[in-house]
């Protein structure tokens, strides 16, 4: 990873993903998380304040070591014990059937081998375990889609691999049999970047 990815991007991510207009979506999805928990793409730790108060420990992975400094501030301020690991979500060292819950927020857009990452998420979940996610992606509006497709090559450079045009529903449903997803435009965000997928996918028992 270069200078931009490790030194500049973490601050841009922290600023954009701390947007108060996204807070309610985090609250809604993370309130359901329980048990042994893994968060993929921990970033700067924005989710920490939205987890249930009874959650005592969280294992997190993020491929970018540059976000650690910002994440550490939130970890120190949290009552949750965070086991923070610099890892690629496409290949996890955890054993099969380890976690009750896996969380991903605004992460699947930027993982290079996203299908492999979802396969790993499925693998490390216990039977009946749940994958909780909020992601931005491909709009249903053809006009917005056209702009998302045009701007994704630029966004991938600015956002260190972030795609505006990934069909998150399709990707998750290819891996999980039981998926509940809500799709909507986020309040007060441009439609090109603000088409959200909020959902829960359950591993077969």
Domain annotation for the chain: domains and CATH numbers = 3-202 (3.40.50.150)
How many residues belong to the chain? 205
Collapsing DSSP to helix, strand or coil, 38 comes out as strand
Residue 154 structure tokens? 């630029």
pLDDT band at 1 (very low <50, low <70, confident <90, very high): low
pLDDT band at 184 (very low <50, low <70, confident <90, very high): very high
Cβ-based burial of 114 (10 A; exposed 0-12, middle 13-18, buried ≥19): buried
Mean pLDDT of 154-159: 94
pLDDT band at 11 (very low <50, low <70, confident <90, very high): confident
pLDDT reading at 76 higher than 70: yes
Lowest mean pLDDT among 67-76, 106-115, 147-156, 177-186: 67-76
- The mean predicted confidence, pLDDT, of the chain is 95
Mean pLDDT of 161-173: 98
Mean pLDDT of 150-164: 95
pLDDT reading at 192 higher than 80: yes
Cα–Cα distance measured from residue 2 to residue 156, given in angstroms and rounded to the nearest whole number: 14
């Amino acid at each position: 990873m270069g200078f931009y990815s490790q030194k500049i991007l973490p601050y841009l991510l922290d600023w954009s993903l701390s947007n108060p207009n996204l807070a309610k979506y985090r609250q809604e999805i993370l309130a359901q998380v329980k048990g042994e928990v893994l968060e993929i793409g921990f970033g700067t730790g924005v989710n920490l304040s939205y987890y249930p108060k009874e959650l005592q420990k969280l294992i997190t992975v993020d491929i970018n070591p540059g976000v650690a400094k910002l994440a550490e501030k939130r970890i120190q301020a949290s009552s949750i014990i965070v086991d923070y690991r610099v890892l690629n979500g496409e290949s996890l060292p955890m054993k099969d059937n380890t976690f009750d819950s896996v969380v991903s927020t605004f992460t699947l857009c930027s993982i290079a081998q996203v299908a492999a990452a979802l396969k790993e998420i499925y693998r490390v979940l216990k039977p009946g375990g749940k994958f909780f996610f909020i992601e931005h992606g491909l709009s249903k509006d053809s006009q917005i889609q056209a702009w998302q497709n045009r701007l994704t090559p630029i966004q991938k450079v600015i956002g260190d691999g972030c795609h505006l045009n990934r069909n998150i529903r399709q990707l998750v449903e290819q891996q999980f049999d039981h998926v509940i997803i809500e799709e909507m435009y986020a309040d007060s965000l441009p439609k090109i970047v603000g088409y959200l997928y909020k959902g829960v996918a359950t591993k077969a028992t």
